[in-house]
Structures are given as C-alpha cells and as structure tokens.
Amino acid sequence: MSDTVRLIEVKEDILADNNAMAKALNDELTQSKTCLVNLMASPGAGKTTTILATLEKIKNDLKVGVMEADIDSMVDAEKIAASGTEAIQIRTGGFCHMDATMVRTGLEAMDFGRFDLVILENVGNLVCPAEFETGAHINAMILSVPEGDDKPLKYPLMFSICQVLLINKIDYLELSDFNLDLFRQRVLSINPNITIFEISSRTGQGIGPWADWLKDRVKTITK
Amino acid sequence: MHELPVINSILSVVLKHAEANQVQKVVTIYLQVGAMSDLEDTWMQQYFDHLSKGGVAEGAKLVIERMPVVMRCNSCGHSFEINIKDGTKPVCPSCSGEKHSLVSGREYIIKNMEVL
Ligand SMILES: Nc1nc2c(ncn2[C@@H]2O[C@H](COP(=O)(O)OP(=O)(O)OP(=O)(O)O)[C@@H](O)[C@H]2O)c(=O)[nH]1
Ligand SMILES: [Mg+2]
Ligand SMILES: [Zn+2]
C-alpha cells in the first residue's frame, strides 16, 4: 500500500443522471400529448387547496390527473379523489423530494397517456425539489403571504427554476407586514421571466386568470 | 435533512471513481457548487461524514468552491455575473436589458479528488 497522495480527475455533475432521466421522461410525455406540472411550495402554503380550486376551473376542458407526493400519508390524494379527479399517492418514504425516477413510476402507474394534464404536488419544502428535475414541462411554485416576503433571498434556486409563481393567501395580506412590491422586485431580480399571479385558494380570488394561463400553456404543449 | 439527497449523490459518484481507480482512501474532494445552492458548507461536511462512515471515503474533507451566478442577456447576448442576495433587479451592463436567462450558478460538480 502506497501512502503518496494522487489526484484523480472526476469532472462529473452529480445531478447529471437525474437530469438525463428527466429529459427522457419529458420527451415521452410530450409525445403522448400529456403536460406535466410540478407544483412546489413549503408545507401548508396551500398546494392541495390550490389544486382543488384550479381543478374546478379546468376540469371541463382538460382531462386531468393528480399525483400527490407525501412523506408518509394518503390525506391529500383522498381529498383530490373526493372532488372527482383521479389521484395517485406516492409515498416517498422519508425522501424530501421527487426525482425523475420516482415521477416516472407514478406516471406509469396512472397510465399517463390518458391525461392532457398531470399535476404533481411535490413534497413540501423549498430546497430539495428545486435541485431535482422531474421531467415537468412547467415548474410552478406557491409562496403564501404568511411565509414572508424575504423567501426569495433565502431560497433563490426555487424562484429561479419556476416559470410561474402563485402568491397564495392574498386574503391575508392586510393582516400581515408582507410587502408585495418588494417581494415582486426580489423575485424578478432572480428570475425576470417568471409569470406571477396573486391568488386566494380560500376565496377563489385570482384563480380564474391563473387557470386560463394554465389551460393555454397545456394546449400549446399538447398540440 | 435537505442536504441528504445531494450528499448521497456526491458520495455515489466519489465511490464509483474510487473503485475504478483502486483507491485505498479518499483524502480530499474538490467540489464546485453554484451560488444558487441553498446548502451550507458545514452541513454538507457533517452529512458527508455521517453517510461515508465505514467506506473508503470516511474522513474525507470537502473543499467547496462557490461558483458565481451568471446570466445571459436576452436582447444582446452579453453574459454577466449577478449577486442574488442583494435583491436588486439586475440590468445588463452592456445594453441595460432587463430580461436574462440563467447560464450557470446551480451546478454541483465534483472537480477532482486527492486519494491514497
Ligand atoms: N387564509 C387562507 N388560507 C388558505 C388559503 N389556501 C390554503 N389555505 C389554508 O392553508 C392550510 C394548508 O393548506 P393545504 O392546501 O393543505 O397546504 P399544502 O401546501 O397542500 O400542505 P402540505 O401538503 O401539508 O404540505 C389549510 O388550512 C388551508 O385551508 C388561502 O388562500 N387563504
Ligand atoms: Mg398538500
Ligand atoms: Zn444586453
């Protein structure tokens, strides 16, 4: 055994495998005319409530399925199914995000080709889901007013990878010190191309314009 | 806990290269991590120490080089670095354009490693 230190060249991107799998899955989805939306947010930001409110506006025009990722429960999938939309629950078994392989397993189990749109409710956190591509056509995120307007400074990657941002619980704005203008400026400094909607999934405010935007995008992607 | 999946991926790449090169012990791992990453150096090292126990990478030190966030201007194509933590809207230093696309800043690259 020698004790001289050697240097090994590696030059490998550790996310390359997942990125390649995500790309392949995305191609397959496009071919079967199914749009995948990856919805990300903190725990309790309103992902499930927003999906339910959105389904009401789009389910007459699009065949939609929902994939619920949860560390270890069935609650969210049961809520969606109760509203009359097909839902599948993926237990991530402690994993704090979905990667492309897990998403593929879920999509195949639900026979994804039947749907125009599949909405993935990713695991609630703003860190890991941002690192791992899922194969989605649209990365969407929710930031709810009670979480505070400083989140773009703390989780820049999440804001940078999304095409659309829903500011939820806007009904709570008056009661909080959330500065909408400052927040928008912080988000746009990281991602100038992002589309922003202000919504309340509780009152229904702003859900219409967001649902129209989504329908439009789905039609373009699945054309 | 959010460091775990990323550190796991780092470890598996390290172990793959260690095996291919008949390495007895990994001493230092040189990483390039984009400034967009939310993971902190000290936590990355702690999780690495935990996950690498009992293998050839046990005790290896992570040396992390933060890579700048670089944007490319959509109108003139100029590339420039931005500071994402100051919260001001970046404008293209060349044409004052306000629409840009991310070129780099979210990478996790294992550059090389020192081994015995
Ligand atoms: N005031 C207000 N409350 C809301 C709004 N949207 C959701 N909520 C409430 O926020 C709580 C969490 O909502 P969920 O939809 O379960 O949030 P989630 O992001 O799916 O949560 P997890 O799946 O547990 O991470 C519930 O009590 C909702 O009723 C809103 O627009 N305004
Ligand atoms: Mg939920
Ligand atoms: Zn320019």
A81 in a structural domain? yes
DSSP class of A179: -
Residue type, B47: Y
What sign does the CA torsion over A158, A115, A35, A218 have? negative
Query: Are A156 and B24 inside 8 Å of each other by CB?
Result: no
Best residue in A157, A182, A196 for a mutation probing chain B (most B CBs within 10 Å): A157
What sign does the CA torsion over A89, A91, A97, A100 have? negative
Beta carbons of A131 and A157 less than 8 angstroms apart = yes
Between strands B108-115 and B26-34, the pairing is antiparallel
| Residue nearest atom 7 of ligand 1, based on CA coordinates | A46
Count of Cβ atoms closer than 10 Å to residue A157 Cβ? 24
pLDDT given at position B62 = 97
The residues on B that touch A, with CB distances below 8 Å, are 1-2, 4-6, 9-10, 13-14, 17, 21, 23-24, 27, 36-39, 82, 84-90, 98-102, 105-116
A5 in a structural domain? no
Enter the tokens of residue A156.
């820049």
Q: How many CA atoms lie within 13 A of A177 on its CB side?
A: 1
Percent of chain A predicted with pLDDT > 70: 99
Residue whose C-alpha is closest to residue B21's, from A17, A5, A15: A5
Q: What's the total number of domains in chain A?
A: 1
Report whether pLDDT(A1) > 60: no
pLDDT given at position A70 = 81
Interface contacts A/B by beta carbons within 8 Å: 118
**Domain span holding position A178:** 11-222
User: What is the distance between the alpha carbons of residues A206 and A14, in angstroms, rounded to a whole number?
Assistant: 39
User: What is the distance between the alpha carbons of residues A48 and A77, in angstroms, rounded to a whole number?
Assistant: 9
CATH label of the domain that carries residue B92: 3.30.2320.80
Go through A168-199 and write b for each residue having 16 or more CB atoms within 10 A of its CB, e for each that does not.
bbbeeeeeeebeeeebbebbbbbbbebebbbb
CATH label of the domain that carries residue A157: 3.40.50.300
The tens place of each residue's pLDDT in chain B, 116 residues long, gives 677 888 999 999 999 999 999 999 999 999 999 998 888 888 899 999 999 999 999 999 999 999 999 999 999 999 999 888 777 778 899 999 888 888 889 899 999 999 99
Residue whose C-alpha is closest to residue B84's, from A141, A189, A183, A148: A189
User: What is the distance between the alpha carbons of residues A223 and B96, in angstroms, rounded to a whole number?
Assistant: 36
Q: What's the total number of domains in chain B?
A: 1
A1 in a structural domain? no
Query: Which residues are in the CB-under-5-Å shell of ion ligand 2?
Result: A 47-48, 76
pLDDT band at A49 (very low <50, low <70, confident <90, very high): very high
Q: Is A151 in the pocket of ligand 1 (CB under 6 A)?
A: no
User: What is the distance between the alpha carbons of residues A5 and B3, in angstroms, rounded to a whole number?
Assistant: 28
Report whether pLDDT(A3) > 90: no
Task: Check residue A206 and give left, alpha or beta (phi > 0: left; psi -120 to 50: alpha).
Answer: left
Instruction: Please state the rounded mean pLDDT for residues A34-49.
Output: 97
pLDDT given at position A95 = 77
Residue whose C-alpha is closest to residue A119's, from A146, A150, A144, A87: A87
> What ipTM describes this predicted complex?
0.81
**Domain span holding position B76:** 3-115
| pLDDT tens for each residue of A127-162 | 989 999 999 999 999 999 999 999 999 899 999 999
What is the signed CA dihedral for A141, A145, A149, A153, rounded to 10 degrees? -30
